[in-house]
Amino acid sequence: MSQALDVLRSRFGYDEFRFQQQQIIDGLIDGRDALVLMPTGGGKSLCYQIPAILRDGVGIIISPLIALMQDQVDALALNGLSAAFLNSTQTVDQQQQVKQRLRNNDIDLLYVAPERALNEDFLQMLGECRIALFAIDEAHCVSQWGHDFRPDYQKLTRLHERFPGVPRIALTATADQRTLREIEQQLQLEGAQRFVHSFDRPNIFYRVTQGDNNRQRLWSFIQQHHASDAGIVYCLSRKKVEETAKWLGDRGRHALPYHAGLDKNTRAEHQRIFLQQEGVIIVATIAFGMGIDKPDVRFVAHLNLPKNLESYYQETGRAGRDGEPANAWMAYGMQDVITLRQMMAQSDADEQFKRVLHHKMEAMLGFCEQTGCRRQTLLAYFDETLAEPCGHCDNCVEPPLTWDATEAARMGLSCVFRTGQRFGVNYVIDVLLGNAKDRILQNRHDQLSTFGIGDLDQNEWRSLFRQLIALGYLYADIDNYGALKMTPDCKPLLAGDRQLWLRKFEKPVKTPKPATPKIRTELREGDTPLFEALRLHRKQLAQEQGVPPYVILHDKTLAAICAQRPDSVEQLSMIPGIGERKLELYGSELIRITREYPSDGQALSGGSD
């Protein structure tokens, strides 16, 4: 591992590994397979980049993100690494040059899409090369139960069949236990070692709002917390994307739309502007974002309900990749639920798949309507326990309006029990409301003691059942048509030994919302002029090289320069994020600028400000 640590320090400018990076890298170097689940911004790419450098041959990186391959290769080049990509954006001559470099063993890492990786001509060419490893990025795309399903991912076992001695690593930031099992099965990684890091992103503040006029509430949120920050706003439809981007633009923000209905060149240009300029807001459908490596996205907002918690978790994880404070804000209404249900009903998927989608949507709704810590519920969905409430979500900071739902919950659970735990939410609610539908009459459930006893309306019953599911009193049996099943937790509630308070369905009374902490890299008094001068210099370098500013240096690196005030290249080399290559390229100019801004914040005569 001393070699791996040397590469980490010399090429990437970091002193030590984080999370489980060292064990993963060690295993790959030794030729062992790995399945890695690590949060966005956790350093997944280092887990295959360093072994690809140290092992003999080229590392083949399978990625669905053609639009980002150029940025990934540019970032590696700035660290002094030999990287390339092969995709449809290149001319025939450009592709031939890459192939020749590959045959000459002149490439450390090669990025390709899954479709190209399965191409017979490409596989034959690989047969003529030395291969260090295969890295399958965004591996959740293999799962038909996942949120970014790509059928070609399920065929990637051909790589293992063709090159059985080459180690493989599958990586994702988002997968529940079902998806992890499917990744293992579909990619034949049953023997791989699993590395599952915590799903917790403690720097993100979670807030969910209900009510009318979502767009105006979004604007108030942006103005209060992110008046000049970069962010992403997700909408369910292309029309809403276009309207919201224009609406934000009319109010003075640089906002750009992104959805699959735009032509490829427009999408690429909007993505480039978002990555390379500061303070830009992208308004998008879920077509945008997977693999976006922009560290200073300060907020992610949802103007519609996401389809499931996996999507929500991954999309919100695009905020605060640098570890600095960030916001995940969402507004939703019942119309979102109706729209998503209509989309499911109109889908050509089989009934089993629809039941899975329905269950996932109910879990998403339960997350929205709960009264407890949102982070605890989100982590529990991914089978992780958070012992204490986080203190960093809206429910922790501003406890919601609640009501004593004990008796209503007992009625609901009793109805589930008396109908045999064989029916879904809609059926049970119909019984509680006394709706004498044909199916209920056929089952003679109109004669049950729970028929018609409910004094809540349909929406209130739905809210109650979603919260009972979210709190673990009930679960929807996907393999039995979504039938509600009771858990052991029901016993003390039904026995009268437990009281249950739930979130009120009614629109909450508006109360002043305390501002979340100002989102900005922490600077000492007097450091701001130097920080801004360094940012200006970085922006000029980025424009000259045609890369995003963060590819040159992260904000955290600039803040560290301000804090430590290095006076020599040797001192500058100790700053995290500055490796040998960047020291060679930028070191002397960074020292010059730093010397022009003493710690009292005043630029010396002739400063570059």
In the predicted model, is pLDDT for residue 602 greater than 70?
Answer: no
Q: How far apart are CA 351 and CA 292, in angstroms?
A: 34
Q: Which CATH architecture has domain 528-595?
A: Orthogonal Bundle (1.10)
The confidence band for 121, taking pLDDT boundaries of 50, 70 and 90, is very high
Q: How far apart are CA 370 and CA 214, in angstroms?
A: 20
pLDDT in tens, 16-30: 898 889 999 999 999
The confidence band for 276, taking pLDDT boundaries of 50, 70 and 90, is confident
Which residues make up the CATH 3.40.50.300 domain(s) of the chain?
2-196, 204-332+378-397
**Average pLDDT score over residue span 591-599:** 88
Question: Measuring CA to CA, which residue among 372, 405, 366, 414 is closest to residue 499?
Answer: 405
501: Cβ–Cβ under 8 A, 6 or more apart, which residues? 371, 402, 403, 404, 405
Q: Are 559 and 521 in contact (CB under 8 A)?
A: yes
Q: Are 418 and 449 in contact (CB under 8 A)?
A: yes
pLDDT in tens, 291-315: 577 888 999 999 988 888 988 998 9
Token readout for 528 is 């701001």
Which residues make up the CATH 1.10.150.80 domain(s) of the chain?
528-595
pLDDT in tens, 356-397: 777 888 788 888 878 889 999 999 988 888 999 999 999 999
**Average pLDDT score over residue span 444-451:** 94
Global pTM value? 0.70
The confidence band for 482, taking pLDDT boundaries of 50, 70 and 90, is confident
- The mean pLDDT value of the chain amounts to 87
Which residues make up the CATH 1.10.10.10 domain(s) of the chain?
402-503
CATH topology of domain 204-332+378-397: Rossmann fold (3.40.50)
Q: How far apart are CA 500 and CA 502, in angstroms?
A: 6
**Average pLDDT score over residue span 129-154:** 84
pLDDT in the model for residue 518: 43
The confidence band for 148, taking pLDDT boundaries of 50, 70 and 90, is low
Name the strand (E) or helix (H) holding 328. Answer: strand 326-332
CATH number 1.10.3720.10 is the correct assignment for the domain at 2-196: no
Q: How far apart are CA 314 and CA 303, in angstroms?
A: 16
468 CB-contact burial (10 Å; exposed 0-12 / middle 13-18 / buried 19+): buried
* CATH no. for 402-503: 1.10.10.10
pLDDT in tens, 394-409: 999 998 888 999 999 9
Q: How far apart are CA 366 and CA 503, in angstroms?
A: 10
pLDDT in the model for residue 603: 61
Q: Is 61 helix (H, G, I), strand (E, B) or coil?
A: strand
